[in-house]
Amino acid sequence: MLNRLLVIIWLYFSLVYAHDLWIEKSQDKYVLYYGHKYSSHGGKKLIKYNPENIQSVKCIDKDGNKIEIDVKKEYPLVINKNCATIYVDISSGYWTKTPYGTINKPKNQIDTPIKSWLSYESVKRINLWSKNLEKSFTKKLDIIPVNNPLKLQEGDKIRLLITFNGKPAKNIPVAYDGKVRGITDSHGRINIRIKHKGLQLIEATYREKVNSEKTDEVIYTTTLNFEVK
């Protein structure tokens, strides 16, 4: 039974996590990338995204206050501000599976729709840590460390709280570098072991069924980034 559950979860993630979203530090700035550079997913290391898909960029200081920043919607997105935590939300819109392939349109604009979804993706990078950051700054899906991620070393475990709309989310599959490590408990908690130094990619996804002429469900995918020295 357990093996069957793990196989189902693996198939679930192989569909949802077709690509990775991450924020990479480059000298004194931070750059948003999309592709397969760090995780076990196959494909191009870098894939050009449409900068118009960027919905919001948030900069949070170590006291938990939002800092106003001015960023250009261009590829790649560059953040020059020194933020304790950076949030970036993007959406590629509606997708519909058809007998002839997957099309970037809602199902009410397709003649032969099989399944459709609205995609929301986000990434959070932690650069500095304080207890003031041990909470969510978004109403969407979020991955919140409950121990200091910047003090972790290879082999340590990070304790995580997964929230949706500010509330703990149970039974959420969580992946590390593209591989499923488990699901959240009834309190939205899960522990993940750090396997290597450098940039960390921890991913979670939440599916919300909707009654809409445009789509069957909304899929929220989020990634947590931080560096292990």
The answer to whether the bond into 76 is cis (omega within 30° of 0) is yes
Task: With CA atoms as reference, report the closest residue to 119 among 220, 21, 32, 51.
Answer: 220
Q: What is the mean pLDDT of residues 104-109?
A: 96
Cβ(160)–Cβ(169) below 8 Å: no
Least confident range of 53-57, 70-74, 153-157, 215-219: 70-74
Q: Over 70: is that where the pLDDT of 39 sits?
A: no
Higher model confidence: residue 106 or residue 20? Answer: 106
For the chain, give the mean pLDDT: 89
DSSP 8-state assignment for residue 102: E
Q: How confident is the model at residue 180 (pLDDT cuts 50, 70, 90)?
A: confident
128, HSE (Cβ side, Cα atoms, 13 Å): 11
Cβ(47)–Cβ(35) below 8 Å: yes
Task: With CA atoms as reference, report the closest residue to 12 among 212, 162, 217.
Answer: 217
Least confident range of 41-45, 186-190, 207-211: 41-45
List the domain range (segments joined by +) for residue 164: 2-228
The model carries a pTM of: 0.89
> Per the structure, how many domains does the chain have?
1
Q: Over 70: is that where the pLDDT of 225 sits?
A: yes
Q: How confident is the model at residue 70 (pLDDT cuts 50, 70, 90)?
A: confident
Instruction: Give the Cα separation of 122 and 220 in Å (integer).
Output: 8
Structure confidence at residue 47 (pLDDT): 86
